[in-house]
Amino acid sequence: MKPLDQKIWRKVLLSPAATIQQAISNLDESGLQIVLVVNAEGLLQGSVTDGDVRRGLLRGLSLNSPVDQIMSVNPLVVPPEMGRDMVLHLMHANKIHQIPVVDTSRCVTGLHLWDEVLDTSERTNTMVIMAGGLGKRLLPLTEDCPKPMLSVGGKPILELIIERAKADGFVNFVLSVHYLGHMIEEYFGDGQRWGVNISYLHEDSPLGTAGAISLLSPRPTLPFLVTNGDVLSDIRYGEMLDFHLRHGALATMAVRLHEWQNPFGVIRTDGIRITGFDEKPVYRTHVNAGIYVLDPMVLDELVVGAQCDMPTLFERVQQKGEGTIAYPMHEPWLDVGRPDDLQLARNKYPV
């Protein structure tokens, strides 16, 4: 834990007039996992963390909504004279990594940051990557190349996923392979070249995103991640795992906010009576992003070697009365399933 240099903590200051999108950009650029909302006089109005953003998106707010709709208006703060030991004690007791420093008028004068928040510790949790799909929508590119091995930025899609997860501390990977799986095994081997451990699940026939994990042996003893092998994202897998653990869920699904605008004016009616008008309304829904965290107990809901998709597995867990939760994403995300998507990915990750 250390008080930050003024040049650093001033980067996390944001105006109350800012949008949620601007808060997200600030969080990404600073890497300090907090935004301090201050007025023109520098007085603290509230704070915003990644969790505040995700809860706001789940409530149906858009990225253009004002940041004051998601900020915590009474964040824990400390005075400038408080000593290191007491600050560290408050961080431990409240399970937080940042505490703003304010004077008697609530003017922000600094930010305490726990050193460990900047260190990526190794995570022993397994990450399963589904890499056995046929990639029919990407034919003819996938005639002699499995979809996760298509090149983006000079590397296979699968390699980008592994590197992203490794940056979050994950070192144990299981790749589920089927179509042209030998090409994936020949390229990645045991993962030594990347400083990780890689093993393989072999599907004799496509088992779906959930069916494949029924083959896991030995069975994981810790919550594990599952991701589709064609999903590129800047998501922090470690933060999603922490979110899952914090909420005590058995199954967590990453979801994306999808907006669709009706191109027509919508008429609300009651029988033949017109009750109102909505001019080109925007509908917001949450869609499956293809990334999951599962407790090992959910494997009890699968039959070894039987086909099952992930939504079905979530429904089975729900029917048992167990917790299934959504992890709202705001990070860039792309499902590389069609030629247009592949081109978008190549534009984002140029060679």
Give alpha helix (H) positions in 148-207.
157-167, 181-188
Omega cis (within 30) before 218? yes
Q: How many Å apart are CA 60 and CA 284, to the nearest integer?
A: 7
94, 99, 104, 108 alpha-carbon torsion, rounded to 10°: -150
CB atoms within 10 A of CB 121: 8
280 is catalytic: yes
Question: Coil, strand or helix: which one is 180?
Answer: coil
Question: Coil, strand or helix: which one is 42?
Answer: coil
Omega cis (within 30) before 281? no
Catalytic residue of the set 2, 95, 155, 280? 280
Query: What are the Cα distances from residue 104, in Å, to 3, 43, 141, 186, 305?
Result: 18, 10, 64, 63, 64
Residue 120, judged by CB atoms within 10 A of its CB (0-12, 13-18, 19+), counts as middle
Give catalytic residue positions: 280
